[in-house]
Amino acid sequence: MTALGMPGTEYPPQPRSTRGAILAMFFVNGAGLATWLSMIPAVQQRLALTSGQLGVALLGLALGAVVAMPVTGWVVGHAGGRRVGTLSAVAYCATLAILPQAPTLPLLAATLLVFGAASGVLDVAMNVQGAEVEAIYGRPLMSTFHGFYSLGGFAGALLGSALAAAGLTPAIRALLAALALAAAALVGGYWLLPTQKRLKSRRPSEGLSLGTLSWALVALGVMAFCSFLAEGASGDWSALYLHRVLGTGPAVAATAYAAFSIAMAVGRLNGDWLTARLGAIVLLRAGGGLSAIGLAIALILGRPVVAIVGFGLVGLGLANIVPTLFSAAGRTRSGAPRVAIAAVAFAGYTGIVAGPPLIGFAAQAFTLTRALITVVACCLLIALLAPKVRYFDGRVGNTA
């Protein structure tokens, strides 16, 4: 018997320390991205990039994550979660430190590709760790983990603004942030789980075929794709919708995404409590439905205040969808959970890559309002596919 009373598992004797380490790693991931985002205007100005050139460079970030994610499950299985999580976090911070110093557009794009790959590996490794810790505690924890990613993003943006106001150059700001986040990652990495073993179900799987579970995993991937697409659309198009379609000023337009972000953070920090009481299916149905209703109201009524509230409802509805999907993938009984989590993450980030251009082309062919109806449909599809999570072990929270 180990210190946790679970035979055959290699867990540290302080599960609370491991939980805190995972929270720290999620925070590092969110804060690092926000730090980079705060420096984009300065980098664009220094390299004299057009909007199109900047867009090409930024695409490298998402592509790096998409390319790295499919192999992360295999890497975690061979190298161990602690090693992969810690090394990817350090690589992520090191790349952050050199991003604002990229001398040319090609080098900026290449550095962003590495930055995105490190972020993607860290993302998958931490969700695998989160699924393991949920197994230890026997209750939902994933939404809080993702909530700390949102808190990290808020802290990174706030710190970036403060350092910029103090007159520090982007290179110095990036270096200071990278050193602080790397230190946090190294300390947290000590308490991560050294290995990831296959999670065992507490419920019998009789009557469930491999094909059934495979199709259920595809459904998780589709829901992740839809959720990430909706998140990306809210970030990329909410301000433009208020500014171009509803005629608001830039300051008012920006509040739409602020409402989305705040609502998502609040939703995630309360998501574990909701998951334990409502169950995964109800939470997915309610989240998808609320997001669809919020955006539909914003598009139909076409008033700035209503639109801001609507995007806030989208953030609240989407808040716990991705954590719930990762948690379900971590309980798969048809293969290694780390591979299932990597597959769901890959599908989700594909939504981030494909979503902006799809909506952009649709807006050009029709109108932005009509293009955003696609996002409403994606949210409704999440609600429709929600019952598929019943094919995954109901050990953490209720599934029905």
The band of 9, judged by pLDDT with boundaries at 50, 70 and 90, is very low
Q: How many helices (H) and strands (E) does the chain have?
A: 14, 0
Delimit the domains of the chain by residue range. 15-189, 210-391
pLDDT in tens, 63-76: 999 899 888 888 88
**Pair 327, 341: CB distance under 8 Å:** no
The band of 10, judged by pLDDT with boundaries at 50, 70 and 90, is very low
Q: Is the pLDDT of residue 15 over 80?
A: no
Please state the length of the chain.
400
Residues 6 or more apart whose Cβ sits within 8 Å of residue 104: 47
| C-alpha span between 73 and 129 (Å, rounded) | 11
Q: Which two tokens stand for residue 161?
A: 């603004």
The band of 334, judged by pLDDT with boundaries at 50, 70 and 90, is low
| C-alpha span between 242 and 240 (Å, rounded) | 5
At 206 the pLDDT is 37
**Pair 128, 341: CB distance under 8 Å:** yes
**Topology (CATH) of 210-391:** Growth Hormone; Chain: A; (1.20.1250)
| Main-chain dihedrals φ then ψ at residue 301, nearest 5 degrees | -80, -35
C-beta pairs of 110-114 under 8 Å, 24+ apart in sequence: 110/60, 112/57, 112/58, 112/60, 112/61, 112/64, 113/60, 113/61, 113/63, 113/64, 114/64
C-alpha dihedral over 229, 235, 240, 243, to 10 degrees? Answer: 140
Q: Is the pLDDT of residue 198 over 50?
A: no
pLDDT in tens, 79-121: 888 999 999 999 999 999 999 999 999 999 999 999 999 999 9
User: Which amino acid is located at 345 in the chain?
Assistant: A
Residue 81 burial by Cβ neighbours in a 10 Å radius (0-12, 13-18, 19+): buried
Class of domain 15-189: mainly alpha
| C-alpha span between 82 and 272 (Å, rounded) | 24
| C-alpha span between 330 and 118 (Å, rounded) | 21
Q: Is the pLDDT of residue 393 over 80?
A: no
354 vs 15, 31, 33, 217, 350, CA distance in Å?
A: 38, 24, 20, 20, 6
Query: Residues 14, 16, 17, CA angle at the centre, nearest 5°?
Result: 70
Q: Is the pLDDT of residue 203 over 70?
A: no
Which range is least confidently modeled, 76-90, 181-195, 275-289, 346-360? 346-360
| C-alpha span between 74 and 47 (Å, rounded) | 38
Residues 6 or more apart whose Cβ sits within 8 Å of residue 336: 73, 77, 198
Identical fold between 15-189 and 210-391: yes
**Pair 333, 283: CB distance under 8 Å:** no
Q: Is the pLDDT of residue 207 over 50?
A: no
